[in-house]
Amino acid sequence: MKKYDSLGELLIDYRTLNKMSQLDLASLLDVDTRTIIRWEKNETLIKPEKEKDLVEKMFIPYQVIRNLNTDNPLSVFYNPELRTYSLSALMQKASASWYKEDLAVESDRIHFLSKDRDVEFVEDIQEVNKNLKPIKPELIKEAAKILPELNLVLHDQSGFYAGHITVLPIKYEAYIKIREQEMKEDSLSLTDLTSNFLHKPMVFYYYSMYADTLENAYYIMNRLLGYFKKKKFKDYVFAGTTYRENKVEILREMGLKMVWEETIEDTTILKPVFLEGNFDMFLFGRMS
């Protein structure tokens, strides 16, 4: 993460990352180019009513904007590419064990993923992850109906989007096809989902998980681990494709194993890594 001391610096980095001109950004935010120039030079603050546009159109976390859009900016560590931030240089990475320190912790900022806008955020994050072929939105909506406990959206203290988790309950046959690379994730259809939780082994397909801070990641991972600790399933598989090295590292620490890593010649695209396993050893100290 890079330390930002001004919003102007962040706006310049955003344009550079997204290959945008000042005119492009002005058009996106419905302001004139002179306004963008003044913002980038920190000559004027962004009006409160425009802050929402930076959150929803530029996908910048609200807390980052609030810290920097003030006469006395508070430094923030931010990664514009991953859309993650930290208010301290000390809180930028965590081990797997940290996530299960208190599985009883609750947050009233977590809600069931049910609105169309929630699904749009899931798709936005997949784009951030360089997943060029996301699954169909109707799969996410249906999975949320079948398995609401593992399809959640998290908001920050101001009510803005801050993270989510999307897990699909899929048929074992579909899981095997993806595992053996006979079918890609984006080929999943509604008929591949299942509501039969008596079928063994049950397959929980991890599609997407994101949080803009470690604190918010804690709440989301807490719900995930808490679900499996409470259910105590005897025979299940937790599997999915992951694009970020830090997520691969955390999930492997939690007991998942890497099955394959796709080879991609384009170095700007992250390599999909397929992981599978369960959390029994991590949660209970025993194998499934």
Q: What is the DSSP string of 1-18?
A: -EEES-HHHHHHHHHHHT
Q: What is the pLDDT of residue 234?
A: 86
Which two three-digit tokens encode residue 150? 């593992």
According to DSSP, the β-strands at 236-242 and 202-211 are parallel
Q: What is the pLDDT of residue 132?
A: 63
Are 220 and 243 in contact by the 8 Å Cβ rule? The answer is no
Q: What is the pLDDT of residue 156?
A: 92
Beta partners for 239?
A: 205, 276
Are 167 and 143 in contact by the 8 Å Cβ rule? The answer is yes
> H helices within 57-199, ranges in order?
62-68, 116-128, 137-146, 172-179
Q: What is the pLDDT of residue 272?
A: 86
Q: What domains are there in the chain, each with its CATH number? A: 2-86 (1.10.260.40), 96-284 (3.40.630.30)
* Alpha-carbon dihedral sign for residues 223, 227, 230, 234: negative
**Strand, coil or helix: what is 104?**
coil
Are 144 and 113 in contact by the 8 Å Cβ rule? The answer is yes
Q: What is the pLDDT of residue 126?
A: 79
CA-to-CA dists, residue 42 to 6, 12, 145, 167, 170, angstroms: 7, 11, 46, 42, 50
Residue 161 burial (CB < 10 Å; 0-12/13-18/19+)?
buried
Identify residue 278 by its one-letter amino acid code. N
pTM of the model: 0.88
According to DSSP, the β-strands at 110-112 and 151-155 are antiparallel
**Residue pLDDT, tens place only, 150-188:** 999 999 999 999 999 999 999 999 999 999 999 999 999
Q: What is the pLDDT of residue 142?
A: 96
**Strand, coil or helix: what is 134?**
coil
**Angstrom distance (rounded) from CA 288 to CA 280:** 6
Are 259 and 222 in contact by the 8 Å Cβ rule? The answer is no
pLDDT per position in the chain (288 positions), as tens? 899 999 999 999 999 999 999 999 999 999 999 999 999 999 999 998 899 999 989 999 999 999 999 999 999 999 998 889 998 876 667 789 988 887 777 889 999 998 888 888 888 887 776 666 789 999 999 999 999 999 999 999 999 999 999 999 999 999 999 999 999 999 999 999 999 888 789 999 999 999 999 989 999 999 999 999 999 998 999 999 988 888 899 999 999 999 999 876 666 666 889 999 999 999 998 665
